[in-house]
């Protein structure tokens, strides 16, 4: 199917310019050719500015149509994925409600726990991320959802590490170190900001602000060791048998989540936009590979399962930070684990239904000598 090349329109600018040069006998004059070329470029830029100034008003109706189509896609997607998406959402709602109860009890405690406070922050972040993932899946953007599961995994690893260190040492030093390390990171970020502020058009931080950040970072380094402000995981250094310079893989193993490294690496390709990410963003349908630029109704199962698992882990780390566990928390942990399994099963079944429906569609079209192409629609079999 031939589509008009927009360059055909703009190429006419150059054709006219070179025709006039030819008529004037100036095609061999390098300076005249360069001047003509720059005049055309200037005209194109001027036209681009004019179009950019009016495009929002002119394309408004088209945007409304696109929004309607995206909404219609969401409704169609629920035909196969609705039950699975609802199960995941119920799981998220239950974890959020139960976490509120836990936080309320913690506020009323005569002996508040800094570890529980940090784990509560982790769980809150995991809940928010799970909602964002659910929204992306509901809209048909599984690769965006998969990218966010990487962050959820990192939260779960940190939560599991802090929880286990606290369990093994009986000390809240790990929580104190974690918060202190955040202040060291703030100083590192400030140094980067100062370096680029002028280029970005921002006012730099004042000398007083930088001094306060530096003194805070230096004080923590004096308390916890010279390298405390350097490594991203220095807050866990040498605690409960961890290395002096721990890496993320060390925390994964310590927290018992190193078996999830495959998921983590998979989602990392999309985060870092490496060469592998190019292939992950390609889909095959009807014998043609296409680059995914919008919505799709496949690949929802894996990010959903990874999100549910990490949300469950964060909640367990939170509730088990106070011993003995409250009866309600024991009950909810069991409920969440049951829903996690049910959600995983529902998503896998939905994925299988979608793939089966695609095979049936292509088989029916093949009987008529056709196939469904993701770009051109129904086309003759090759």
The predicted-structure confidence for 363-380, as pLDDT tens digits, reads as follows 999 999 999 999 899 999
* Predicted TM-score of the model (pTM): 0.90
Instruction: Enumerate the β-bridge partners of residue 289.
Output: 284
Given this model, what pLDDT does residue 51 score? 85
What lies within 8 Å, CB to CB, of 124 at 6+ separation is: 99
**In the block, residue with structure tokens 């921002």:** 202
Q: Are 116 and 321 in contact (CB under 8 A)?
A: yes
Higher-pLDDT residue of 373 and 62 is 373
Residue 41 has pLDDT above 90, yes or no: no
β-bridge mates for residue 373, sequence order: 377
Residues 155, 104 contacting (CB under 8 angstroms): no
pLDDT of residue 354: 97
Query: Of all residues in the chain, what percent carry a pLDDT higher than 90?
Result: 76
303: closest CA among 82, 181, 149?
149
Cα–Cα distance between 214 and 336 in angstroms, integer?
44
Residue indicated by tokens 């969401």? 74
- DSSP string of 73-137, one letter each residue: HHHHHHHHHHHHHHHHHHHHHHHHHHHHHHHHHHHH-SS--HHHHHHHHHHHHHHHHHHHHHHHH
pLDDT of 1 over the 60 cut: no
- Least-confidence region, from 29-38, 142-151, 228-237, 323-332: 29-38
For residue 11, pLDDT beyond 80: no
Name which of 278, 272, 357, 312 is nearest 99 in CA terms. 312
Is the pLDDT assigned to residue 24 strictly greater than 90?
Answer: no
CA 22-24-25 angle, to 5 degrees, is 65
Res. 3: pLDDT tops 70: no
Range with lowest mean pLDDT among 8-17, 61-70, 296-305, 366-375: 8-17
Q: Helix, strand, or coil here: 277?
A: helix
Domain residue limits, the chain: 82-380
pLDDT of 300 > 90? The answer is yes
For 183, the token pair is 């202040």
Going by pLDDT thresholds of 50, 70 and 90, the confidence category of residue 153 is very high
Which 3 state secondary structure label does DSSP give 378?
A: strand
Mean pLDDT of the chain: 93
């Amino acid at each position: 199917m031939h589509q008009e090349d927009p360059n055909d329109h703009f190429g006419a600018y150059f054709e006219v310019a070179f025709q006039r040069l030819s008529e004037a006998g100036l095609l061999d004059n390098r300076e005249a050719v360069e001047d003509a070329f720059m005049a055309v470029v200037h005209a194109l830029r001027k036209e681009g500015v004019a179009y950019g100034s009016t495009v929002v008003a002119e394309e408004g109706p088209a945007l409304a149509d696109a929004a309607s189509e995206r909404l219609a896609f969401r409704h169609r997607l629920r035909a196969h994925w609705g039950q699975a998406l609802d199960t995941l959402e119920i799981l998220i709602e239950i974890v959020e409600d139960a976490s509120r109860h836990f936080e309320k009890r913690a506020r009323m405690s005569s002996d508040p726990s800094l570890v529980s406070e940090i784990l509560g922050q982790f769980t809150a972040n995991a809940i928010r991320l799970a909602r964002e993932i659910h929204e992306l899946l509901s809209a048909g953007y599984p690769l965006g959802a998969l990218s966010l599961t990487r962050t959820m995994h990192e939260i779960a690893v940190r939560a599991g590490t802090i929880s286990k260190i606290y369990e093994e040492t009986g000390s809240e030093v790990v929580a104190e170190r974690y918060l202190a390390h955040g202040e060291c990171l703030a100083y590192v970020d400030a140094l980067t900001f100062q370096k680029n502020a002028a280029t970005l058009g921002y006012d730099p931080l004042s000398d007083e602000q930088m001094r306060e950040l530096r003194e805070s970072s230096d004080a923590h380094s004096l308390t916890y060791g010279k390298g405390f402000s350097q490594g991203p995981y220095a807050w866990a250094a040498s605690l409960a048998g961890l290395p002096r310079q721990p890496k993320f893989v060390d925390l994964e193993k310590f927290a018992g989540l190193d078996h999830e490294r495959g998921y983590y690496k998979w989602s990392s390709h999309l985060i870092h936009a490496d060469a592998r990410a190019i292939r992950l963003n390609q889909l095959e349908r009807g014998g043609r590979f296409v680059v995914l630029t919008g919505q799709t109704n496949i690949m929802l199962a894996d990010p959903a399962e990874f999100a549910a698992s990490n949300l469950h882990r964060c909640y367990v780390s939170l509730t088990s930070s106070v011993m003995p566990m409250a009866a309600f928390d024991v009950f909810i942990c069991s409920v969440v684990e049951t829903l996690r399994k049910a959600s995983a099963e529902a998503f896998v079944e939905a994925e299988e239904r979608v793939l089966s429906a695609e095979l049936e569609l292509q088989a029916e079209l093949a009987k008529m000598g056709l196939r469904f192409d993701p770009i051109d629609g129904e086309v003759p079999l090759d």
